[in-house]
Amino acid sequence: MNQADSEIIRGILSKGHEEASEKEADLVIFNTCGVVEKTERKIIKEADKAKKEGKRIIISGCLPLISKEACERASDGILGPANIDSIEELVKKIINDGKASIVEDNDLDKSGLSDIKKKTAKESCSAIVAISEGCLGGCSYCATRFARKKLKSFSIENIIKEIERNVSLGIKEIQLTSQDLAVYGMDRGSQELPQLLNEIIKIGGDFKVKLGMMNPGYAKKIMGELLSAYRSEKIYKFIHLPIQSGDDVLLEKMNRGYSSKDFIEISEAFRNAFENGIIATDIIVGHPSETEESFNKTVTVIEKIKPEVIHAFKFSKRKGTPDFLLKDLPDRIKKDRSRIINELFEKNNLEKNKNFLGKELDVLVVEKRKGKYLSRTDTGRAVVLDRGNIGETIKVRITDYRWNYLIGGYIDK
C-alpha cells in the first residue's frame, strides 16, 4: 500500500515540482509504515537529521495517525493516507505558513490517481495498483488499522481503467495491493475479488498480474473462484497468505479469524492446482502469548507447507492495541525464534531451487537492479540474468541458484 501511495504522491507533485535526491532536495517526504516500533524510531531519527540540515519535512502514510505527536515534532507537515490527493495543498501551506497538517477522514478512491510515466520502463515495467484501503480485521497487535481504518473498496471501473492505462504505456507487470485483497467489495455487500480478476483477465495486451496479501479466513470462502481465475496465463501462480502463527490458541488471542487448518487446506489446494506455484506467508515470532509449544506448532506448519516466501517479524508492541498491555518476551527469545524460522526457510528453498538447475523456463524481464536483470517465471519465481530488455518475454536456462532466487542465461538460437 505504501508503495502505491508513494507513486500517487510522486505523480501529483511531478506536475509542478522537480524530483531530486534526498541530499539535493529542499523538501523531503517520508511516506511511512507504522507496523513496528523500530521502524518508527528510524523514521523519526532520519526526519530529525534532515530537518537539522535545513530541509522542509513532510511525514505521510500510517505513522502520522499512529504516533501523531512524534511526527508533528519531527516535521513541518503531516499527511494521512486518506489525504494523499491533498499533497500539493500541503506543500503550498508549508511554503506559505511554515507548518501544516492534513489528516482528516476522507472517502477517497485512489484508483487512477497514480501518474505512471513511460520513462519508468527504462528501469522497470511493473506498476502497483491499489484496489482498496483499510480492512475488516481487528488483530490484537495491529496499529495499521488506526491509520487505514475501515474498508473502502475502490470501483472496479476505475481499477480497470488504471490497469488499461498502465498496459497502454508499456507496463507488463501489475501488482494488485491492499491490506487484504480477499475482502475486496465486502463494504458493498460481497467478496468481489473473483469478479475483479475476471474483468482484469479480459483486458487486451500482454501483461502479468501478481496478487497481494489475502487473509486466509476470507480467502477460504472464495478459494474455488480464485483458483479458476489463477488458471489464466495473465495471473502469476503466486499466493500470499499470512499465517502469523501455527498455534490455533494464539491465533484466537490475536483475533485473526482463522485456524492453522484453514491455512493448510488453502495452501494444499493451491499446491494441487499449481505444482510449482509460490506460497508466501508472514509469521510473527515472540508474541507475548507465544509459548515454546506455540512456536513449535508454527515450525511444524512451515515444515509441512514449505512456503517459498516467508516474512518473519519479531513482535513489536504498538500503543493503543490490546497487546500493548501484555508483558513482552525477552529480545533473545525473539531473535532465536526468528533465526530458526529463517534458517528453515533458507534450507527448504535451497532444496527446491536445486531442482530447477538445467531447466529451460519462459520468463518476463521486469526490472534492472544494480547491473543485473530481474525476471519472473509464470509462477512469479525470481530469475536473475546478466542481460535483458525490460518488458520482453524470453526463454532462459537455469545455470545456478541461491536460496532466494534462480540464476539464468539466454538460450542462443
User: C-alpha distances in angstroms, 175 versus 167, 171, 228, 369, 390?
Assistant: 12, 11, 19, 18, 16
279-333 pLDDT, tens digit each:
999 999 999 999 999 999 999 999 999 999 999 999 999 988 999 999 999 999 9
Q: The cell 519531527 sits on which residue?
A: 74
User: C-alpha distances in angstroms, 136 versus 61, 72, 139, 255?
Assistant: 19, 29, 10, 11
Average pLDDT, the chain: 91
208-261 pLDDT, tens digit each:
999 999 999 999 999 999 999 999 999 999 999 999 999 999 999 999 999 999
Binning pLDDT at 50, 70 and 90, where does residue 113 land?
A: low
Q: For the whole model, what pTM was predicted?
A: 0.89
DSSP single-letter state for residue 135: B
Binning pLDDT at 50, 70 and 90, where does residue 118 land?
A: very low
Q: Is the pLDDT of residue 108 over 80?
A: no
CB 183 within 8 A of CB 151: yes
Q: The cell 507496523 sits on which residue?
A: 35
- What is the bridge-based pairing of β-strands 77-79 and 56-61? parallel
Q: The cell 507465544 sits on which residue?
A: 290
153-197 pLDDT, tens digit each:
999 999 999 999 999 999 999 999 999 999 999 999 999 999 999
Half-sphere exposure of 105 (CA within 13 A, CB side): 6
Distance, in Å, from the CA atom of 185 to the CA atom of 4, rounded to the nearest integer, reads 19
**What does the pLDDT read at residue 264?**
98
User: C-alpha distances in angstroms, 390 versus 53, 164, 231, 377, 412?
Assistant: 38, 19, 25, 14, 18
Residue 238, all three cell numbers:
503466486
Distance, in Å, from the CA atom of 34 to the CA atom of 114, rounded to the nearest integer, reads 22
Helical packing angle, 156-168 and 193-201, nearest 10°? 30
- What is the bridge-based pairing of β-strands 27-32 and 309-314? unpaired
CB 216 within 8 A of CB 263: yes
Distance, in Å, from the CA atom of 55 to the CA atom of 76, rounded to the nearest integer, reads 9
Sheet bearing 77-79, strands edge to edge: 27-32, 56-61, 77-79, 100-102
Listed in order, strand segments (DSSP E) in 191-325 are 208-211, 238-240, 278-285, 309-314
Listed in order, strand segments (DSSP E) in 24-170 are 27-32, 56-61, 77-79, 100-102, 126-130, 132-133, 152-153
Of 255, 318, 323, nearest in space to 65 by CA: 318
Q: Name the more confident of 107 and 315.
A: 315
**What does the pLDDT read at residue 149?**
78
**What does the pLDDT read at residue 5?**
83
Distance, in Å, from the CA atom of 30 to the CA atom of 61, rounded to the nearest integer, reads 8
User: C-alpha distances in angstroms, 381 versus 49, 93, 319, 326, 348?
Assistant: 39, 45, 37, 39, 15
Q: Is the pLDDT of residue 119 over 50?
A: no
12-48 pLDDT, tens digit each:
888 888 888 888 888 999 998 877 788 889 999 999 9
**What does the pLDDT read at residue 112?**
66
- Taken in order of first residue, the domains within the chain and their CATH numbers are 2-11+25-102 (no CATH), 118-354 (3.80.30.20), 360-410 (2.40.50.140)
